[in-house]
């Protein structure tokens, strides 16, 4: 018998054996129906990107990095088998300097920088959960930071970047929570006005180059762009782009910025500097939704401007409500806002708060015509000549937990909004960066109200501390933290909305199934 014939017989025999085994071991319908539901397990790796803090030589920046102690279901990162997925040696959270920030219009600098390895020394290193670590950088040469956390430090890892610029055209208190990389970002409330200097900062965390597109939408629709080839962001580098240089059209007071990537992924955030009312970071809005909540409006806000954009093909008619301490009302200055498809709409809301901190609730005027939008608020505190600005964006509710990393012994205010049912929330103040014991309290937020209060402070606090917010029961809760550091009569402040930290992920139950071999 020929060798080829023998090989074919052997192959057929082996296939029959495998097929027979699969048939004998395949689960029946009842077993398949009883398959285990996905399990929520702590994530094993997190990535964060911090933009270059300032171009001012007098800027003073503080980074606060923190991971809450314990996670849902376990205090250690786990693998898909439910066992520990990382040993102690793998627990690490570091933020390293990126390549020096580049001017997007200089391709030679971009090409040269792409060849340079990132500095090896971390700017911020976190080694344990439950206690924040603080680092500082002064002047205008501080670069963007690129970082990751692994093991037990990954679930809920949060870093806050806080910068004080005491003088100059970009003076103010600038704060932002360092964000995870992505491929799609929306920024309502940007501007190309002559009084504004708005830069979108693009940071690439990966070892290969990324290419990003930036589109601008004004009150009349899409602004014609002067940049058609996309913006190259070299590996592990950061690129600041001045929005007003992207278009030759007349300056627009209100612009929505859309950042997408053709290749790779980036971190994106807009730094706003206004000649008259200071500066701050404008973070990306939540994904387009028909109903949006914008928490974190301080009680003494002297100016509130709503900016919204409808990215779909339909116009949006939005009902506007203010959720304050005493309940939910429709502002007399603006009951609704029409947002045309593809156009940016804006509305000033004077005397909105009337001494009550709160949130803005946007819902469809006609529930049968629910059109997704993105939205943000520009907030102003203080009187003419002594004003300061901040921004808050539409933010989703907390599902399990969220954290604001940088809090001081004085100056922090926590704002919790329950747009629907009453909710109970646990608030935990971590140990201080230099010492102090953790403190927790549970508060009740009445339905359709906002609760604004000074959060608990760790006993014996030294340094700064982190605040972690966890829903306990009841309806959804949206959260924000205001940090106020007044200087020279200017009520400097910044507001960070607190998103869910996504410290856990659903892992489907897996088992061996040889039925895939049975045709």
What residues does 234 pair with on adjacent strands?
A: none
Same domain, 329 and 373: yes
Same domain, 100 and 149: yes
Domain count, the chain: 2
Tell me the CATH number at 347. Answer: 2.60.290
pLDDT for 433 equals: 97
Among candidate residues 339, 367, 393, the one where a domain is terminated? 393
Same domain, 89 and 113: yes
Contact by Cβ (8 Å): 407, 450: no
Token pair of 208, please?
């290969």
Tell me the CATH number at 95. Answer: 2.60.290.11
Same domain, 278 and 296: no
Q: How far apart are CA 388 and CA 487, in angstroms?
A: 11
Q: Do the strands 435-437 and 158-165 form a parallel or antiparallel pair, or are they unpaired?
A: unpaired
Q: Does a structural domain hold residue 398?
A: no
**Maximum CA pair distance of the chain?**
100
Could you tell me the pLDDT band of residue 108, with boundaries at 50, 70 and 90?
Answer: low
SS3 55: coil
pLDDT for 272 equals: 98
Token pair of 63, please?
């980074």
pLDDT for 453 equals: 98
Contact by Cβ (8 Å): 395, 500: no
What is the average pLDDT score of the chain? Answer: 87
Residue 308 domain boundaries: 292-393
Place of tokens 């009841």: 474
Q: Does a structural domain hold residue 123?
A: yes
Token pair of 340, please?
């045309």
Query: Who wins on pLDDT, 9 or 277?
Result: 277
Q: Does a structural domain hold residue 164?
A: yes
Same domain, 389 and 277: no
Q: Average pLDDT, stretch 171-193?
A: 97
H/E stretch holding 376 reads strand 374-381
Closest CA to 117 of 144, 95, 99: 99
Inform me whether the pLDDT recorded for 104 exceeds 60.
no
Same domain, 220 and 95: yes
Q: Average pLDDT, stretch 91-98?
A: 93
Q: Average pLDDT, stretch 218-223?
A: 97
pLDDT for 16 equals: 39
pLDDT for 513 equals: 63
Same domain, 246 and 311: no
Q: How far apart are CA 150 and CA 161, in angstroms?
A: 21
Q: Does a structural domain hold residue 434?
A: no
Q: Average pLDDT, stretch 83-106?
A: 61
SS3 218: strand
Inform me whether the pLDDT recorded for 495 exceeds 90.
yes
Q: How far apart are CA 47 and CA 148, in angstroms?
A: 4
Q: How far apart are CA 519 and CA 505, in angstroms?
A: 34
Lowest mean pLDDT among 80-94, 272-286, 324-338: 80-94
State pTM to two decimals.
0.87
Among candidate residues 345, 367, 393, the one where a domain is terminated? 393
Q: How far apart are CA 266 and CA 261, in angstroms?
A: 8
Same domain, 241 and 309: no
Q: Average pLDDT, stretch 168-179?
A: 93
Q: How far apart are CA 231 and CA 243, in angstroms?
A: 13
Contact by Cβ (8 Å): 338, 307: no
φ and ψ of 143, to 5 deg: -85, 175
Among candidate residues 363, 393, 423, the one where a domain is terminated? 393
Closest CA to 211 of 239, 251, 180: 239
Could you tell me the pLDDT band of residue 209, with boundaries at 50, 70 and 90?
Answer: very high
Provide the H-helix boundaries in 194-282: none
List CB contacts of 438: < 8 A, sequence separation 6 or more. 130, 428, 429, 430, 431, 458
Q: Does a structural domain hold residue 422?
A: no
Same domain, 337 and 317: yes
Q: Average pLDDT, stretch 389-412?
A: 97
Same domain, 79 and 204: yes
Inform me whether the pLDDT recorded for 518 exceeds 90.
no
Q: Average pLDDT, stretch 299-327?
A: 97
Q: Does a structural domain hold residue 270?
A: yes
H/E stretch holding 427 reads strand 423-429
Q: Does a structural domain hold residue 178?
A: yes
pLDDT for 514 equals: 61
Q: How far apart are CA 263 and CA 260, in angstroms?
A: 9
Q: Does a structural domain hold residue 245?
A: yes
Lowest mean pLDDT among 49-58, 108-117, 132-141: 108-117
Half-sphere exposure of 364 (CA within 13 A, CB side): 15
Lowest mean pLDDT among 45-49, 228-232, 322-326, 458-462: 228-232
Same domain, 224 and 78: yes
Same domain, 249 and 317: no
Q: Average pLDDT, stretch 426-442?
A: 97
pLDDT for 511 equals: 65
Inform me whether the pLDDT recorded for 30 exceeds 90.
no
Q: How far apart are CA 252 and CA 197, in angstroms?
A: 12
Provide the H-helix boundaries in 26-146: 29-33, 107-114
Token pair of 115, please?
């060849």
């Amino acid at each position: 018998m020929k060798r080829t014939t023998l090989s074919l017989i052997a192959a057929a025999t082996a296939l029959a054996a495998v097929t027979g085994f699969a048939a004998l071991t395949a689960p029946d319908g009842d077993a398949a129906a009883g398959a285990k539901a996905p399990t929520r397990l702590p994530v094993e790796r997190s990535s964060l990107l911090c933009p270059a803090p300032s171009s001012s030589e007098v800027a003073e920046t503080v980074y606060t990095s923190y991971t809450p102690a314990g996670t849902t279901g376990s205090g250690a990162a786990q693998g898909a088998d439910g066992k520990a997925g990382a040993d102690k040696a793998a627990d690490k959270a570091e933020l390293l300097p990126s390549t020096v920030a580049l001017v997007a219009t200089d391709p030679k600098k971009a090409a040269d920088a792409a060849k340079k390895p990132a500095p090896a020394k971390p700017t911020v290193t976190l080694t344990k959960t439950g206690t924040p670590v603080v680092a500082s950088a002064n002047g205008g040469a501080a670069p963007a930071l690129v970082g990751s956390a692994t093991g037990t430090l990954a679930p809920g890892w949060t870093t806050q970047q806080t910068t004080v610029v005491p003088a100059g055209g970009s003076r103010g208190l600038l704060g932002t929570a360092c964000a995870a990389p992505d491929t799609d970002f929306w920024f309502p409330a940007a501007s190309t006005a002559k009084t504004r200097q708005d830069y979108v900062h693009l940071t690439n965390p990966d070892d290969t180059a990324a290419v990003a597109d930036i589109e601008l939408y004004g009150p009349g629709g899409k602004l014609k762009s002067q940049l058609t080839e996309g913006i190259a962001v070299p590996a592990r580098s950061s690129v600041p782009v001045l929005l007003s240089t992207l278009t030759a059209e007349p300056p627009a007071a209100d612009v929505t910025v859309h950042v997408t990537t053709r290749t790779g992924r980036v971190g994106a955030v807009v730094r706003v500097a206004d000649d008259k009312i200071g500066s701050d970071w404008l973070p990306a809005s939540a994904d387009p939704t028909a109903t949006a909540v914008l928490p974190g409006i301080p009680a003494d806000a002297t100016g509130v401007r709503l900016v919204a954009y409808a990215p779909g093909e339909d116009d949006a008619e939005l009902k506007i409500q203010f959720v304050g301490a005493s309940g939910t009302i429709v502002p007399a200055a603006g009951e609704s806002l029409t947002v045309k498809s593809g156009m940016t709409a804006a509305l000033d809301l004077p005397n909105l708060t009337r001494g009550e901190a709160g949130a803005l609730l946007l819902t469809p005027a006609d529930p049968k015509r629910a059109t997704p939008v993105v939205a943000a608020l520009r907030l102003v505190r203080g009187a003419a000549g002594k004003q300061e600005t901040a921004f808050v964006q539409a933010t989703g509710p907390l599902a399990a937990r969220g954290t604001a990393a940088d809090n001081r012994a004085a100056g922090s205010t926590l704002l919790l909004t329950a747009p629907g049912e009453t909710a109970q929330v646990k608030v935990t103040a971590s140990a201080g960066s230099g010492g102090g014991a953790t403190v927790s309290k549970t508060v009740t937020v009445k339905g359709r109200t906002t609760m604004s209060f000074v959060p608990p402070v760790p006993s014996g606090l030294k340094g700064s501390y982190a605040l972690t917010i966890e829903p306990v029961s009841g309806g959804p809760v949206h959260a924000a933290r205001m940090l106020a550091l007044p200087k020279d009569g200017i009520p400097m402040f910044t507001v960070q909305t607190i998103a869910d930290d996504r410290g856990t992920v659903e892992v489907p139950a897996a088992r061996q199934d040889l039925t895939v071999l049975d045709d």
